[in-house]
Amino acid sequence: MERAREEAGLKSVMDIAAIRAMLPHRYPFLLVDRISELEAGLRIVGIKNVTANEPFFQGHFPDRPIMPGVLIIEAMAQVGGVLAFKSVPPTGRPVVYLTGVDKARFRKPVVPGDQLRLEVEVLNRRPPFWKMQGKAYVETDLVCEAELTAMVTEEKSENR
């Protein structure tokens, strides 16, 4: 199976250490646990394991915990950020800013014990802007989708 994935141009998994080296987010706001597929400049698939001890479940909602939709969108955006990082030639330290969310739809609630599969595909790219389609699944059920716009720029040094 791994050989077939490599022949299809799919790169192997990125673990949490590789993701942390790339994204500036940290607990409790790092919402990606693993990257399972990556085709630079085209598409990416990330995984978020939703557990009962997530801090947002204390208030959303204590008697019926549901992952906030805005955090599902943020998880998709973080996966899209990894795609952008892996697709841009390294000239400095890239920084990705979410600049827009369009056509967001929430289909089913996400609850503790679910595993989100976050699929992000590039729709259009005009540097420094990227337009991406994000879809979040639990098993085979589409739970959320949105078009995301991001700007990729370089980190400014503190001395400037």
Looking at this protein, which amino acid is placed at residue 40? A
Measured between alpha carbons, how far is 131 from 146 in angstroms, rounded to an integer? 11
What is the C-alpha separation between 9 and 141, in angstroms, rounded? 26
Rounded Cα distance, 12 and 22, in Å: 16
Q: Is residue 60 annotated as part of the catalytic site, yes or no?
A: yes
**Secondary element (H or E) of residue 80:** helix 69-87
**Residue 44: C-alpha distances to residues 92, 95, 120, 156, 158 (Å):** 22, 18, 5, 27, 32
Task: Please answer whether residues 33 and 48 qualify as being in contact, where contact means their C-beta atoms are separated by less than 8 angstroms.
Answer: yes
Q: Which of 20, 34, 43, 60 is catalytic?
A: 60
Which amino acid is located at 37 in the chain?
E
Q: Residue 146: exposed, middle, or buried by beta-carbon count in 10 A (0-12, 13-18, 19+)? A: buried
Catalytic residues: 60
